Structures are given as structure tokens and as C-alpha cells.
Structure 1
Amino acid sequence: MELDLRHLRMICAIAETGSVTRAAARLGLSQPALTNQLHRVEEIAGGALFVRSHAGVRPTPLGRQVIARARIVLSEIDALFGDLHGPSGTAHVVRLGCVHLACVGSVVERVGEALPGHQISLRIEPSAVLLADALAQGHLDVALVGMIEGFDVTLIAPVVSRTLIPRYPIFVALSAGHRLAERAEIDLADLRDESWISPPGADDGSLAALRAACRAAGYEPDIRYEAPSGAGRSLVAAGHGVRLVDPTWSPPEGTVARPLRGEPQAARLVVAWRRDHVSVENAQAVYRGLAAAFRDHVDDNPAFRRWWDAHPETHPFE
């Protein structure tokens, strides 16, 4: 057996989803077929690429090396065909969309540094579906899109994408006076009696994922409040409810953000762009800028910093 691009994409899909089952669904394969292919690739590589854990599958040290090199190859292949078919010129204004993450505070500056001579416009949108639609309609040139694990958002050609952060956990925000606030991590089952604030952008699967995770923990969540991303903070601080949050946010006064035991909620970040609007060179520059913006805020939450340091395989490749 010889390795080809589909095997590299398979390895990256397993790493990005953290699950053989979810990777098989993304690639349109049966789980047994993907498992067989993985075993054959591991024979060529000379060892196991992934190990199973309570949270899914994780790369071995050998697996991290293979994944890093696979991403290089796939990135070069995408760049090759982008150079052949993409635009040769550059735009003076880049219309950028971004999910509501802590890094939005650094996006304009960092992307501007990566694209000198360009103006950056920014649309902040909690819904990955609306960002994908804006790209498809040509209202945006490029976007940083968050996808809840198990609920991928369809990107329609000529939109192409590249993974920025393959997997990161979703935290839960509680009042600083909450009975569980002093714990280092929270068991989702211990939140069965809480009132929940609905996740923003529920059309991208975030609300369905919350319900599924809570059901797996043995209960149906009480989704009592609808609030935009910022508006929910005061409800949490006052002790009226809890909500899922991006882990890079520094917890607002009166609140704490804690990881969930076993990481029952996770997401990934992809940089998506229109190949007919953005050249390969500029897309790579935007990717570098967004990677820098994300890293600027890793230290905002010490709990996420610890997770980040323990998971170098999730760091963006430039």
C-alpha cells in the first residue's frame, strides 16, 4: 500500500474531530473502512498514530509528527491549485468575518500587520451558519468560523478552508458565588438543576450539542434564557443561570469559567475564504494574522493556558 492524499486527509480528520466515528462521517466512509485504512497507514508509519481516551482519540508522539507533516503537504497542494486557478491580483479592502471570540480584540491589528497596505473591515457574528452564508453570497471575503464538534457547517465552492485550531474545549461560566465555583473542573451532571442561557448562534448546532451532552449526562437542560453573547454575562454574574463560553475569554467580574470534566463540548476553528476574491498569498497572510490574534489571548484565562500547553497538537501551523 502507498500513501496518497486521501490517507493524509483521513489522518488530519481524525485529529481534528478527535473521533474515528466523526472522521468517518466527515469523509463519507464507514467506520470499519476508515479503521482499516488507519491500521494500514500505521503499519507504514511504523507505530500507532492515535490512542483512545475517555475524551475520544488523541495523537501519539509519532502521530503528532505525522499529522504536522500531513498538514504541510495538504497546505502545499491547496496552494498549488489556488495558484493555478485563483486571482492574481490583491484587494485593498479585506472584508473579514469572525465568530465572537476573545481574539476579535486583536484581529484587525494582527491581520492588518500580515497584510500591509490593506484595509480590514470586520463583521462579528456568533452564528457560523450566517458567516458561511455571507461567504457564499460574496458579502465577506474571508472568515474565522467556529464549528461545534459533530455539527460541521457546509462551505460552498468557491469557498475553501484551512483548519486553524483543530479542537479546543468549551468551558462553562458560573457566578463567582456558585457552589461549584471553587472546583478546578465541573462535571456536567452536577449542573442538572441549573437554568441555562442558550448558546448564541444556535442554528450552527451549539444548542443541539448542549442538549445532547446534557442528555448523555442524564438530564434535559432547562434552557431558560435567550441572550446575545455579551448580554448573558450579567445573568451569570447575578447567579440566574450558567452558560457555555469560549475558553479564551477572561471571565468578567463576578463570574468564573471552568473546564467541563471529560470535555463533553468541543469546537474547532477554520479559516474560510473565497478563492475568487482572495489570492493564495493573501489567504496565507490572513491565516498568520488570525493565528497570532488567537495566541494573543491564550493567557487571558489561566485554565485555558494550562490546557493549551498540554495540547501542542492543537496549535496552529504557519
Structure 2
Amino acid sequence: MLQRFERQIGTKLFVRSHTGVTPTPAGEQTLRRALVLLLDFDRFEADLLGVAGTGPLRLGSSQMDCLPTFVERLDDALPGLEVTVHLEPSSAVLARSLARATLDIAVIAMSDDQEVPLAKHLGHRVLLPWVPVFVGLPARHPLAGRDDVDLADLADEAWIGPPGPEDGSLTSLRAAAHRAGFTPRIRFECPNGGGRPLIAAGDCAGQLEPTAPELPGMVVRPLKNDPMRLRLVLAWRKERVTWDQAEQVYRAAMTSYTRHAMASVPFRSWWTRRRDERSWDSLVGYFGETG
């Protein structure tokens, strides 16, 4: 089909090799236009379907430290509509809940190296193409004073097992640790956020969402070269959520997350270094050039 389309327009869209395909300049332009058309089609489809069902809008969310701000903005963005919130650490569970219609809309954090499939009948938009995973360390840890921490230097630490391991969080940690030359020793299994007192007590290290606040006795530090990353996706049931409602939720989530991120000292410090290294191009549209 692609070759037929290329013949039709008279130019190549992709350069093909044994390792895959790479878009040509014309292909890049076609992809950008196609994304706009797909968004318009989603809006058209949503308008045709309308909104079925009654009752509150059931929203699911991965753990985000900006969640209270996000919920507050939702109340302003969707006046007159009751929204219930279900916090779920597993991206796979959130995706299944949408597919099975036990949730209507969800903000899903996916490990960058683990694909969580979304049902074909769901609408979805990328909130953030990627954000780094940070690490929580005891404030008295020898590495706590560094700007960032090499994952290999944490080889002897006890770790908190990431919640929702079936969606790739634990797999991602083990893969990153393997690349760094060690196998992480998982000592604690805790509900999402429940392990922070253990970190502060000096018992372990733990993966953290990058806007996580520093608590007494605990510091939050970036990992050198970002060995683990997340992407944030908004997905919804088209027959239950209108395009305009999805757009309002999208804006509320984006505004809450980006403002919360830039108010976080560890994240802002990481962002400033990434910006100065000119390696922030895929995120500049989200966090801005100056922050």
C-alpha cells in the first residue's frame, strides 16, 4: 500500500533497509499531515458516536505527584460532571479496565521499553513522549550530594520493587541494571508511594516519578544518561467520552504535570542540564526552552 501511494504521488516516503524504514523529508511531512487528519477523524467519529451512558466519569490514573492539582483542574474543566478517580500503579491494568469498560478515561504511564497495547476502539493521545525515571536515596547516602547518580554505583543497594511489575516497571529496572552490570536486589514490595519512609530511614533505594518531592531524610536524584524512561498517554472510550471532554482532560493533565515538574527542584535542575546539552529537542515543546 505504501509503495502504491508513493507511485501515486511520485516520490519516496521511506528509505528501506534490512534494519527497517526511515522517513524521507517528504515522508516526515506526510506523517505530520497524517497525524492532523487522524485527529480530525477521531473528532468526527466521536461526534457521530455521541456519549452513551450515565453516571460519573470514571477516570483512572497512574501514580503522579501532581494528581491533587490535576483533579482540582478537572473539576474546573468539566463543570457539572462528577468525576471519580481510581489510582492504579499498573499500566496494563489501566489499559484492560478501559477495554472492559470499567473505566472511561485514563492517564497511563508506560515504561519506555515496554509496549502496553491499547484496544483498537479506544481513543488516545500522547501526553509526554518521555520523561526520566529518578531515584530516591537516603539524605545521608554518600551519593546524595551529586547532581545525578550513575545506576552502576547503586549495585549494592537494596531496592523497593516497583508497583505494577506486569506492565514492565520491574522488567525495566532489571534491564537497566543488567546494562549497568548488576542484578538489583529487591528487598521490599510496597504500595505505590508507600516505600518513601523506608528510603528516608536509610534502608533502600527506589525508582521515583521525576516530579516526586523530596521528604525529610530523602533526596530525589536523576540517573545519569536516563537509563529508564516513561511516556504518558491519555486514552478513553469513544462511546463514553466526547472529543471535547477528552481535550479538557488532556489540557488539565498537561498543565498540572508540566507546572508541577518545573516547580520541582530535582526536575528543574535535570531539565536545565538537558537543555544546555541540546539533548532536549523532543521535550522542548512541553517544558519550554527557558523553563
TM-score range relative to shorter protein = 0.7 to 0.9
Deviation at 1:313, TM superposition (A): 3.4
Alignment-derived partner of residue 268 in structure 1: 231
How far apart in 2 are the matches of 1:113 and 1:237?
A: 36
Go from structure 1 to structure 2 and tell me whether the alpha carbon gap of 1:214 and 1:163 turns closer, same or farther (over 3 Å shift).
same
Q: Would the alpha carbon gap of residues 292 and 313 (structure 1) be closer, same or farther in structure 2, given more than 3 Å must change?
A: same
Number of the residue aligned with 1:34: 21
Please identify the structure whose Cα radius of gyration is greater. 2
For 1:81, give the aligned amino acid: E
Find the aligned partners of 1:261 and 1:77 in 2 and give their Cα distance: 41
TM-score, L = length of structure 2:
0.84
Residue 172 of structure 1: SS of its match in structure 2? strand
Q: Is the 8 A contact 2:150 2:224 kept in 1?
A: yes
Correspondence for 1:313 among 269, 275, 282: 282
- How many percent of aligned residue pairs carry the same amino acid? 38
Deviation of 1:70 after TM superposition, in Å, equals 6.5
Q: Give me the whole-angstrom Cα distance separating, in 2, the residues matched to 1:68 and 1:256.
A: 41
Q: Does 1:81 align with 2:45?
A: yes
Please give the residue correspondences for 1:43-58 in structure 2 after superposition, counting only pairs within 5 Å: 44=26
- The separation in 1 between residues aligned to 2:130 and 2:168, in whole angstroms, is 16
Cα deviations across residues 228-249 of structure 1 (Å, max 9, x unaligned)? 1222001100111001100011
Residues 1-318 of structure 1 aligned to structure 2 (within 5 Å): 1=6, 32-35=19-22, 38=23, 40=24, 42=25, 44=26, 72-84=36-48, 86-88=49-51, 93-308=56-271, 310=275, 311=280, 313-314=282-283, 315-316=285-286
Counterpart of 1:165 in 2: which secondary structure? strand
256-265 or 290-299, which deviates more: 290-299
The one-letter code of the counterpart of 1:156 is A
Q: Deviations over 1:14-52 (max 9, x none)?
A: xxxxxxxxxxxxxxx9873323xx2x2x3x38xxx8xxx
Give the aligned residue type for 1:109.
E
Deviations, residues 168-190 of structure 1 (Å, cap 9, x unaligned): 10001100100100000010110
1:102/1:30 Cα in 2 relative to 1: closer, same or farther (>3 Å)? farther
1:31 & 1:164 partners in 2: Cα distance?
32
Cα distance in 1 between the residues matched to 2:185 and 2:255: 38
State the TM-score, normalizing by the size of structure 1: 0.77
| Offset of residue 295 of structure 1 | 2.4
Distance 1:241 1:226, change over 3 A: same
Number of aligned residues: 270
The answer to whether the 8 Å contact 1:113/1:289 transfers is no
Q: Give the drift of 1:312.
A: 6.2
Q: Does structure 2 retain, via aligned residues, the 8 Å contact 1:169–1:265?
A: yes
In structure 2, the gaps of 5 or more residues are 1-5
Q: State the Cα distance separating 1:276 from its structure 2 match.
A: 1.2
Residues in 1 aligned to 2:195 and 2:17: alpha-carbon distance in whole angstroms: 40
Q: What's the offset of the Cα at 1:139?
A: 1.2
CA distance in 1, matches of 2:50, 2:172: 38
Deviation at 1:304, TM superposition (A): 1.1
Residue of structure 2 in register with 1:52 after alignment: none
- Flag structure 1 segments of 5+ consecutive residues without an equivalent: 11-28, 50-62
Equivalent-residue separation in structure 1 for 2:271 and 2:39 (angstroms):
23
| Distance in 2 of aligned mates of 1:67 and 1:122 | 35
Deviations 1:215-273 (A, max 9, x none): 01111111111111222001100111001100011112111111111110001000010
